[in-house]
Amino acid sequence: MFSVQLRFTDATIFQFSALTVHRQLQLASTSSHVSLSSSSSWRRATASDAHSETSETLERRWDNLGFNPVKTDYIYVMKSSEDGSFSNGNLRQYGNIELIPSAAVLNYGQGIIEGLKAYRKQNGSILLFRPGENASRMQVGAERLCMPAPTIEQFVEAVTTTVLANERWVPPSDKGSLHIRPLLLGNGPVLSVTPAPEFTFMIYVTPVGNFFEDGLKPINLVAENVIHRATPGGVGSIKAIGNYAGIMKAQAEAKANGFSDVLYLDSVHNRYLEEVSTANVFVVKDNTISTPALGGTILPGITRKSIIEIAQSQGFKVEERLVSVEELFDADEVFCSGNAVCVMPVGSITFMEERVDYGGSGFVVSQQLYSALTNIQMGLTEDKMGWTRVLN
């Protein structure tokens, strides 16, 4: 057997703990190998210019943030050993990666993604939101795909180290957040359908703008009854990298027809709600909030879990059960939840050419839950749930 490495072009390696990250980065040499396109207002950072921008320039950059990848300063890389354990993680300068053509992740999709955010408080410190939940979810997904995974402690430490190394890319609290994307890849060579002999855990980050700069903006959904997101016994309940390509066709067709996104139904009865493309869904009627029960085809969203706990603490009755498409036509509100959007109200849903509109109540429940959750995430209120982790 021969070894295959995931190589980072012209990447200098730095090994250190999160507690010493800033002092080490000041000593680290930098490379100009990775550059940004001239059309972008963002450029590659160096140690000498990390704090050289004027406040006016930085403010202009934050104002132009969207939800697109920005090349930041450092990524985190950790490889598996022969026994499947991970060790010796390190930071490397952001740059292109090289994979062997026979890598399992390229040929058979053996890979897991995660997503979480870091927020800057008004006092300048940085918060992570429930990173241990992401670590646990990655472990569940890895087991399903015959992959080893970092321990929860390794995962959280890697996220912490990566965020601190890229601290200057964390936007001000009113401008956005730092999107954190952990990846677990089967990068070893395979030809037949078999688990990779080698795995790599890596993290990159990118600043993103706020989805709702002027308040919550409802979206318009179409319920899809031909294409299905997941099937029983499949991998719909984990963040397998291949899960998302399969929804692109339905999503593209929906947007071409004027809709914001797609609401998927179950593949057995073609009647029960499952998910929006990358978000969980909730249906509000009176004081009851219903959401599809987890059962193997629905992703156990961390935002979903948090919304359920907040709603219960506020006196709502929360039901996790089968929710039929017919219930949409009698609902007071419908909203989605996910890492990217937090809570997103639904303005209308169209099913079989029949449209139902919401908003008569002013999206009161959506707004209430959105405010409660984002106030915790951004450190604007006391975290009585114990969900946030202060980095500095």
Catalytic site residues? Answer: 239
Give the H or E element holding residue 249: helix 248-256
- Beta carbons of 107 and 190 less than 8 angstroms apart: yes
Sign, Cα dihedral of 110, 186, 132, 276? negative
- CA-to-CA distance for 287 and 205, rounded, in angstroms? 38
Helix pair angle (364-377, 302-313), 10° resolution: 110
CB-CB contact of 202 with 76 (8 Å) = yes
CA–CA distance, 138 with 184 (Å, rounded to integer): 8
Asked whether the beta carbons of 9 and 98 are under 8 A apart, the reply is yes
How many angstroms separate the Cα of 124 from the Cα of each of 86, 271, 301?
33, 48, 28
